[in-house]
Amino acid sequence: MRNPQGGRQLDGELLRGVEPLTRLPFGASRYYAGLAQSDDPNADPIAAQFVPRPEELVSLPYESSDPLSDRRFLVTSRLVHHYRDRALLLVNDRCATYCRHCFRRHFTGHGGGRLTDDQLAEACAYLARTPSIKELLLSGGDPLMLADRELEGVIARLKEIDPDYIIRVCTRMPVVLPSRMTDSLASMLGGFDSVWMVIHTNHPRELTNEFREGVRRVIRAGVPILNQSVLLRGINDDADTLEALFRGLVRAGVKPYYLFQGDLAAGTAHFRVPVERGIALMHELRGRLSGMALPTYAVDLPGGGGKVPVESALVRTEADAYVFSGPDGGEYRYPREI
Ligand SMILES: *Cc1c(COP(=O)(O)O)cnc(C)c1O
């Protein structure tokens, strides 16, 4: 970079601003890119999720590549233990499509690759000595970037430690690459007890016939499916879009679980929606949808505060911040951006 005088400038601020774009790869499946009706991310809710925009270069002081403080809760190289009864295993850093709103930018697409045997052994040793953990999330990256056999090996190894583990496979594959949802994958997952799938949809146009067939295979194999969505400006921040999305999910057999307030991930301010707007949308949706179709509007509190329901945890709104009460009883501030 050059400063206005033309001299060389190695400015930390600028370099930090460049980090998000260089760190999160650009990549989309042919299928998902084909759902876009325009390649302009400002004009299409699918393109907006995978085509980088210059706004990604803008990194605000309170943003981070690790807004959930995953790294603080890493107990082994690939295991995040934040909540007493739950732990999250980073199975792989790759995705079939990289979401521009990704919150795990410190890990996703960095080349860490799949979990090695040693990393799995290290995680298993921790799990074996931590009986408070009852639920395991397999995430990344996308765990379904692994071959069926490899994923089966990971799940089998975990179930050896405790056959009662409830396991969530957190994946975007039914949305970005539904052909990955094969009968053999479904029967492998369904062959274990207490395996759930948690998917990530943000717009009703993602609920294609291919999507529905993919999730139906998994459900028929005995694997229940939940959905997480992120409230995203210009993509789904209106009641009609969210109503169609949640109703469509229930029709496909998927329970809407969370609608997330945008995390403070570096270079994602252009996606975030004011909390007041989120609350108003939930109020509107409550009048339109059954309880079954209504997710919990949740926020992951900055500074590792953890996930809380926005509507019940919001204590007060100040000029520049929303103040939430965290699970530990402490107060956490989430910036109010106007
Ligand atoms: C979100 C999350 C979980 C799961 O939280 P739930 O509210 O049970 O869905 C577990 N571990 C980590 C690290 C998480 O970020």
pLDDT tens column, 44-70: 999 999 999 999 999 999 999 999 999
| Dihedral sign from CA coordinates of 166, 172, 178, 179 | negative
- 86 in any annotated domain: yes
Among protein residues, the one whose CA lies closest to atom 6 of ligand 1: 307
Query: Letter for the amino acid at 93?
Result: D
- 80 in any annotated domain: yes
Tell me, using a 6 A CB cutoff, whether residue 298 lines ligand 1: no
Range of 248's domain?
Answer: 58-335
Tell me, using a 6 A CB cutoff, whether residue 83 lines ligand 1: yes
**pLDDT tens digits along 89-143:** 999 999 999 999 999 999 999 999 999 999 999 999 999 999 999 999 999 999 9
Indicate whether 5 pLDDT > 60. no
Indicate whether 15 pLDDT > 70. no
CB 95 within 8 A of CB 113: no
Each as own residue / partner, the long-range contacts of residues 322-327 (CB below 8 Å, 24 or more positions apart, any chain) are: 322/275, 324/299, 326/301
Query: Which range has the worst mean pLDDT, 68-72, 162-166, 256-260?
Result: 68-72
Q: What is the C-alpha to C-alpha distance for residues 75 and 88, in angstroms, rounded to an integer?
A: 10
Tell me, using a 6 A CB cutoff, whether residue 82 lines ligand 1: yes
| Token couple for 43 | 């004009």
Tell me, using a 6 A CB cutoff, whether residue 293 lines ligand 1: no
Q: What is the C-alpha to C-alpha distance for residues 33 and 102, in angstroms, rounded to an integer?
A: 17
Query: Letter for the amino acid at 186?
Result: A
Give residue 117's pLDDT: 98
Tell me, using a 6 A CB cutoff, whether residue 137 lines ligand 1: yes
Q: Which atom of ligand 1 is nearest to the CA of 87?
A: 11
Ligand 1 binding pocket mutation candidate from 89, 90, 137, 196 (most atoms within 8 A of CB): 137
- 236 in any annotated domain: yes
Q: What is the C-alpha to C-alpha distance for residues 184 and 180, in angstroms, rounded to an integer?
A: 10
Indicate whether 228 pLDDT > 60. yes
Tell me, using a 6 A CB cutoff, whether residue 198 lines ligand 1: no
- 45 in any annotated domain: no
**2 Cα–ligand 1 center, Å:** 43
The number of folded domains in the chain is 1
Q: Which atom of ligand 1 is nearest to the CA of 81?
A: 13
Q: Which atom of ligand 1 is nearest to the CA of 80?
A: 13
Q: Structure pTM?
A: 0.93
Q: Find tokens 């992120």 and name the residue.
A: 230
- 9 in any annotated domain: no
| Token couple for 118 | 């040693």
Task: Name the average pLDDT for the chain.
Answer: 93
- 148 in any annotated domain: yes
**Residue 64: which CATH number?**
3.20.20.70
Give the rounded percent of residues in the chain with a pLDDT score beyond 70: 93
Tell me, using a 6 A CB cutoff, whether residue 68 lines ligand 1: yes
Give residue 10's pLDDT: 39
Ligand 1 binding pocket mutation candidate from 70, 83, 85 (most atoms within 8 A of CB): 83
CB 50 within 8 A of CB 34: no
- 309 in any annotated domain: yes
